[in-house]
Structure 1
Amino acid sequence: MSEQVKMTAEERAEWEAFKAEKAKKAEAERRRQQREAYAQMVDEELMQAIPELLNLSGEIKTVKDTVFGNFAAIIDMKAELFGTRDGGQYSHTFTNSDSSLRLTLGVNTVDGYRDTVEDGIAMVRGYIESLATDDKTHALVAAVLRLLSRDGQGNLKASRVLQLRKMAEDSGNDRFLEGVRIIEESYQPSITRRYIRAQRRDPATGAWVNIPLGITECEAHVREATEAAV
């Protein structure tokens, strides 16, 4: 029968500290191994996911190019038929004969102007400021001049120029009209990206339903379709 080893309080404290340190190191090693396993899983899944997504992106671009190419002749014919060739139209919507399918092709633009815009602004500003004769008209003039304020890129907003055009026509003042005309002729928007919006009409409700063309939208579309089927 083996003799039981007795430890002093100091020895037991040292033993407990040793066990705690050993457990701490073992836990640290376990977590290190988990981090390595996590990193390896991420690497493996990325190596599979990214090529698939690159292929999907390429396929989307190919379809997008094909759709724009197929509609190029139709857009040209539309311009000839309706006289919109020089109208600066940046989106085109097409609906089939029974109004069940609809497609919009367009380009996003950023407002921009040639240097001559400054001459037009000066003319408009000069005319508007000449109207300020008292506190009441000063407030009105200030409100109108806000339409000439610039955006973050230093450009006028095209929508505000349209408001100025209406004001100029209502005023009948030649100088005001000429200034607005110069601003409009200086408009030189930059085309950024092409977009496609596809829709179909829900036969049950008659409402137009967007056909999802993005990953996020596809997920929502599948969920809605699933819920509708239940």
Structure 2
Amino acid sequence: MSQTININDLSPEQIQELAKQAKEIEQNRKQKRIKDLKALEDIAAETLPGSMEILREASENLQKAKAKVFTDFEAYLKMKIETMGVKNNQQSHTITVGEESIKLGYRITDGYGENASYGIAMVHKFLESLGKDDNSKRLLGAVMRLLQRNGKGDLDSKKVLELKQIADRDFPDTEFQKGVEIIQEEYKPKLSKWFIEAYYKDNTGVEQSLPLTMTAVDLPKDIDLKFLLPKD
């Protein structure tokens, strides 16, 4: 059990000795921290290159696998489109054999041309011309939420559709409706990425997703990383 020292009971020599000891302890702590930081840098320098090589190889193998699967199914997909009259705007195709399925396709993200800004300006101008009563303020707030851009600076096409419904129902033949129509005409969806998903049924008949990304793959059960989690 540590004993509390009252500094008022010490002599000047004892106080000086305590100050010296405290300074030495602080210096030792700083030196240890410097050594520990250097050790961290050494471990990172030794470990990172090998880990990067493993991840680079995994990425290249995934890229090769993705290209191979799309190439293997090219003839099948062309025949399916021709034989079944599949629309060219169908974004995905699922192929199932027995208990296994592969889904191939592409994803698109919303995008709008530069002229959409004119439509937005027309909507804003119309709203500003309305009175400042509570109903107008609520409408302004709702419209502004629907015209919010995402992190990439694009509008949400679903929200623009909601805006169109409001304009057609409540404000036909107005600058509001015309502005929304301009926005819709400027809709230019962009190809986001080509994707492959794979599924299978396990022994209990439950469909499972085959993990195809580093995030989706589970770690082996014998690897315990609880030390990285917040403490209770």
Report the secondary structure of 1:159's partner residue.
helix
Task: Report deviation, 1:60.
Answer: 0.8
Task: Report deviation, 1:179.
Answer: 3.1
Residue identity matched to 2:114: D
Instruction: Count residues in correspondence.
Output: 186
Q: Deviations over 1:134-170 (max 9, x none)?
A: 4224323432232123334443222211222333444
Change (3 A) 1:53 1:168: same
Contact 2:108/2:189, CA 8 A, preserved across alignment: no
Q: Deviations over 1:33-90 (max 9, x none)?
A: x959x948963x55554434322221110111222334456279549824343xxx6x
TM-score, scaled relative to structure 1:
0.59
Q: CA RMSD in A?
A: 4.1
Contact 1:95/1:103, CA 8 A, preserved across alignment: yes
The question of 1:164 aligning with 2:163 is answered yes
Alignment map for 1:110-121 (pairs within 5 Å) = 111-121=110-120
Residue identity matched to 1:146: R
Greater Rg over alpha carbons, structure = 1
- Which residue is 2:85 aligned to? 81
> For structure 1, which runs of at least 5 residues remain unmatched after alignment?
1-23, 224-230
- Residues in 2 aligned to 1:99 and 1:190: alpha-carbon distance in whole angstroms: 34
Contact 2:114/2:186, CA 8 A, preserved across alignment: yes
- Which residue is 2:3 aligned to? none
- Residues in 2 aligned to 1:126 and 1:35: alpha-carbon distance in whole angstroms: 62
- Which residue is 1:180 aligned to? 180
Contact 1:114/1:186, CA 8 A, preserved across alignment: yes
The question of 1:217 aligning with 2:190 is answered no
TM-score, scaled relative to structure 2:
0.58
Higher helix share: 1
- Residues in 2 aligned to 1:50 and 1:133: alpha-carbon distance in whole angstroms: 59
> For structure 2, which runs of at least 5 residues remain unmatched after alignment?
1-27, 222-232
